[in-house]
Structure 1
């Protein structure tokens, strides 16, 4: 997260939000591997994936250089 912050107290920029969502998504994915029938968590995961996708689209339109930096830094595929 620190590599995407614009200042020390930056928690709201798109890159930071994408990094935080990615961390939460990884945690939920690990949980769902152990608990396959946890449908409430599956719903929450889908919600987070949609939110991250919207942020990625926004960042891609707004600042493509920042978008490519965030995506490569997190190891995510570019759309």
Structure 2
């Protein structure tokens, strides 16, 4: 059973993107990446030698970092609100 169902993704997009169809907003993308990163982190705690998943996790962290950097440059108030809402450090 997948950990991210259509309903869960739609809820994330509705909460962070404004509506469920707004999948392209930076806030929604960062929120979805954060959800996936948290899931993979739990997976890697149990499967320490799963290096291909570890590589994918690092790619996701890098993508999220680039999106947050872009958002920080272009919408500082939105950036601060997003990291507060997601509980990210910074």
Query: TM-score, structure 2 length as denominator?
Result: 0.82
How many residues in Structure 1 have an aligned counterpart in Structure 2? 78
Match of residue 29, structure 1, among 41, 65, 71 = 41
Please provide the CA RMSD for this pair. Answer: 1.0
CA offsets per residue over residues 41-60 of structure 1, 9 Å max, x none? 01000000000000000000
Distance across 2 between alignment mates of 1:12 and 1:74 = 18
Q: CA deviation at 1:32?
A: 0.2
- Where do 4+ consecutive residues of structure 1 move more than 6 Å? none
SS of match in other structure, 1:58: helix
Query: How far is the alpha carbon of 1:77 from its aligned partner?
Result: 1.2
Q: 1:38 and 2:55 equivalent?
A: no
Give the TM-score of the pair, scaled to structure 1.
0.92
The alpha carbon displacement at 1:4 in A equals 1.6
More RCO (CA 8 Å, sep 6+): 1
Structure 2 residues not aligned, in runs of 5+: 1-11
5+ residue gaps, structure 1, are: none
